[in-house]
Amino acid sequence: LSQHVKLEDVARLAGVSAKTVSRVVNGEANVSESTKQAVDRAISALGYKPNLAARSLAASRSFLIGIISPTVDNFYSYFHALHNGAIRACRERGLHLVAEEMDFDTRGSLQRLEGSLRQMRYDGVIVTHPANKNKHVLDLLEHMKIRYVRIGPVSDLHRSDSVSPDETQGLQQLAEHLVSLGHRHIAIAYVEARRRNLLRDSLVKAGADLRHLQFVSLSAAQDPITAGRELASGILALPQRPTAVFTYADDAAAGLIGYAWEHGLNIPRDLSVVGYDDGQVAQAVWPPLTTIREPLDEMARAAVSLLLDPAKDGNARRIVLPVKFIVRSSTAVPSR
Amino acid sequence: LSQHVKLEDVARLAGVSAKTVSRVVNGEANVSESTKQAVDRAISALGYKPNLAARSLAASRSFLIGIISPTVDNFYSYFHALHNGAIRACRERGLHLVAEEMDFDTRGSLQRLEGSLRQMRYDGVIVTHPANKNKHVLDLLEHMKIRYVRIGPVSDLHRSDSVSPDETQGLQQLAEHLVSLGHRHIAIAYVEARRRNLLRDSLVKAGADLRHLQFVSLSAAQDPITAGRELASGILALPQRPTAVFTYADDAAAGLIGYAWEHGLNIPRDLSVVGYDDGQVAQAVWPPLTTIREPLDEMARAAVSLLLDPAKDGNARRIVLPVKFIVRSSTAVPSR
DNA sequence: ATGAAAGCGCTAACAT
DNA sequence: ATGTTAGCGCTTTCAT
């Protein structure tokens, strides 16, 4: 595939003038069916996508829609928070952020992304979960020679610049918090083995007895609230009920807490609960959640920085930002 | 103010070449302090902003950063949902969405917006709350002759195209739901008088006795969760406690529910609760909230449509989309 | 129905 | 330190 296919290239292949190609691209009338087809064939053969900048300049329209909305700082969700941070970082540098939404289920989403990248010619691209783990997306970006930064926990660090949360310290603080409150029987509900292992090791380091820890694996596909309720039901049925539970997401913790109230338990008196994310839900439930917050705003800013000042050597750079452990009233001294 | 100030205009006023102006704009070295100042003066005198498209084309960089994130459908917040809808609607039409974040507190935010609008040359702009009620923003857009659509409830309908939720039907369903369950003493906690009045009238129409309704005004400035807790505390202290409460936001309902559990009340047995938004929080709390959902995705799509096909006559158009009333278990037959 | 030429507003490369 | 020239890739306008 060639790097930058132009209108002219298409015109040459189709054996028509550039203007005719332009007519086809813009769906103007006055094009015979036969030439239209010839042009369409040439376009898809070359993978042509019009250059947005050139188009905008000539047609004096931008093909961009703006949306004016307020800065929302508190109570946000993961992706929204990343977007906010990136928008601000861009603005400070005279850039703008464009969201490329991808549904990974749909066939053709990768192709659509490629088309979009072709025409937008981004200065750089930030890749979040789950695209940051998607081989096809990363391959595509590299093939198109587009600078990109992955955001979130990633393996193969050499592959590109990345910005990740560092959970070790936060999880250690959490472990010490629970142990110092007197918790011994602690349940860990996890989706990723990585985080389970980190927390397990932190708890042991904080003095917990490995034999008293319980691990419950949960599917990422499941709705977190339902998962939290099922988790609660499982825990309440246990002969030796833990006094504290860590869940992999605030939503799951919320489901757990709801189930507990419903069944006459009092949180945190009967069960301490720890969430993850510090999203909107963390403060909406009662009691508000002890949780862990990723520095999403700073992570997004760091990603923009990496994108904008190129590495001196060719090596992939990595920025690691510590998560923040937040104590609220969903954890307390166990009653037993 | 002139419509489209160009580099050349600045150059002429400053008495230098276009290239020199370009150097100043791009912060290149090799510009004497005196000419730099002269150029800067000319730039601000003319209100010059470089044309993004021209710049991109010449420099072969877009000044745009892309961010690839997944489609998130469930559990979203108001602005995020609007953005999602607009992003998709744009994509379907070969456009892209750029977020212009505005913090209305800061001085200079309007100027920044103006600069951004100048250089982006949006095909159209979607204006959400609270900017949709901001005279300065609307004046600016009109003065710059930029097509815009307001989204959300607006007055002065003649002023521009708009897309609004229609709450009457949804609130009527809510009113009938409560009355049919047997609720008579109902509290309405509101921020906007408009919505309070709508609900009041709906309740009366559904057969409620106006004398049994209680109205509690809340400040929009207050954190909704705290507001909900205070609301709960006020309601519990009442001699004649209502059997149902409507709150203006799910967050406030969440605060209310938390306070209730904490003080030994059972929701919905002792008190039915109704929220508004159907955001992430609505399903995270226990019991999940009976609430009202604005069709944010459709509203955003409608806004993009209005932007793209111009009105035949010059009249402002208005699209009204009904909200959806959603029954969950936070409302039930009163126990008394 | 199709083509040729000019130019959108800026920056790159090369002057001086 | 500053100016000149030639494009960037498309659409417009005007031919044919």
Q: Which nucleotide lies closest to A33 by the C1' atom and the CA atom?
A: C1
* Interatomic separation, CA of residue A6 and C1' of nucleotide D15, rounded (Å): 24
Q: Look at residue B189 and give its three-state secondary structure.
A: strand
What are A194-223's pLDDT values in tens digits?
999 999 999 999 999 999 999 999 988 889
* Partner residue opposite B285 with nearest CB, options A83, A101, A285: A285
Nucleotide nearest to B29 in CA–C1' terms = D1
pLDDT band at B95 (very low <50, low <70, confident <90, very high): confident
Q: Which residue is nearest to nucleotide C5 (CA to C1')?
A: A19
pTM: 0.89
A62 CA to C1 C1' distance (Å):
29
CB of B32 under 7 A from strand D? yes
Does residue A54 reach within 7 angstroms of strand D, measured from its CB?
yes
Contact A65 B125 (CB under 8 A): yes
- What distance in Å separates residue A95's CA from the closest CA in chain B? 5
Residue A193: CB less than 7 A from any atom in strand D: no
Q: What is the chain B residue with the closest CA to A95?
A: B63
Q: Is the pLDDT confidence value at B74 over 60?
A: no
* Count of Cβ atoms closer than 10 Å to residue B226 Cβ: 13
Of B103, B116, B307, Cβ closest to residue A70? B103
**Beta strand residue intervals within chain B, DSSP E:** 64-70, 96-102, 124-127, 148-151, 161-166, 186-190, 213-217, 244-246, 272-274, 291-293, 318-322, 324-326
A318 touches strand D (CB under 7 A): no
H/E stretch holding B323: none
Residue whose pair of structure tokens reads 């857009």 in the numeric block: B141
State residue B62's pLDDT score.
80
What's the pLDDT at B67? 85
Query: Are the beta carbons of A122 and B62 separated by less than 8 Å?
Result: yes
Number of residues in chain A = 336
- What residues contact B180, with CB distance under 8 A and at least 6 apart? B206
Written as six digits, the tokens of B288 are: 């999940």
Q: What's the pLDDT at A2?
A: 44
CA-based Rg of chain B, rounded to a whole angstrom?
Answer: 26
Q: Which residues of A touch B77 (CB under 8 A)?
A: 72, 75-77, 80, 280
The pLDDT of residue B2 is above 50: no
Q: What is the mean pLDDT of residues B99-119?
A: 83
Whether A261 and B261 lie within 8 Å, measured CB to CB: yes
CB-defined contacts A:B, below 8 A? 293
Mean pLDDT of chain B: 91
Say whether the CB atom of B23 is under 7 angstroms from strand D. Answer: yes
pLDDT of residue A73: 57
Chain A: residue whose CA lies nearest to B96: A64
Question: Does pLDDT of B75 surpass 90?
Answer: no
Mutate to test the interface with A, among B56, B69, B112, B125 (most CBs of A within 10 A): B69
Name residue B69's beta-bridge partners.
A101
Q: Is the pLDDT of residue B175 over 80?
A: yes
Comparing every residue's Cα with the C1' atom of nucleotide D13, the nearest one is A19
B51 nearest nt, CA–C1': C9
pLDDT tens column, B207-264: 999 999 999 999 888 899 999 999 999 999 999 999 999 999 999 999 999 999 999 9
Which range scores top for mean pLDDT: A58-72, A95-109, B28-42, B284-298? B284-298
Residues of chain A with pLDDT under 70: 1-3, 71-76, 336
Inter-chain residue contact B77 with A82, CB threshold 8 Å: no
CA of B204 to C1' of D2 (A): 78
Q: Which residue in chain A has the smallest CA separation from B125?
A: A66
Q: Do B131 and A70 touch (CB under 8 A)?
A: yes
Instruction: State the residue for tokens 């926990």.
Output: A153
With CB atoms and an 8 Å threshold, state whether A64 touches B100.
no
Among chain B residues, the shortest Cα distance to A137 is held by: B68
Which of A51, A54, A67 lies nearest to residue B97, judging by beta carbons?
A: A67
Chain A positions touching B67 (Cβ under 8 A) are: 82-83, 86, 97-100, 125-128
HEC states along chain A? CCCCCCHHHHHHHHCCCHHHHHHHHCCCCCCCHHHHHHHHHHHHHHCCCCCHHHHHHHHCCCCEEEEEEECCCCCCCHHHHHHHHHHHHHHHCCCEEEEEEECCCCCCHHHHHHHHHHHHCCCEEEECCCHHHCHHHHHHHHHCCCCEEEECCCCCHHHCEEEEEECHHHHHHHHHHHHHHCCCCEEEEECCHHHHHHHHHHHHHCCCCHHHEEEEECCCCCCHHHHHHHHHHHHHCCCCCCCEEECCCHHHHHHHHHHHHHCCCCCCCCCEEECCCCCHHHHHCCCCCEEEECCHHHHHHHHHHHHHCCCCCCCCCEEEEECEEECCCCCCCCCC
What is the Cα gyration radius of chain A? 26
Which residue does chain B place closest to A80, by CA atoms?
B80
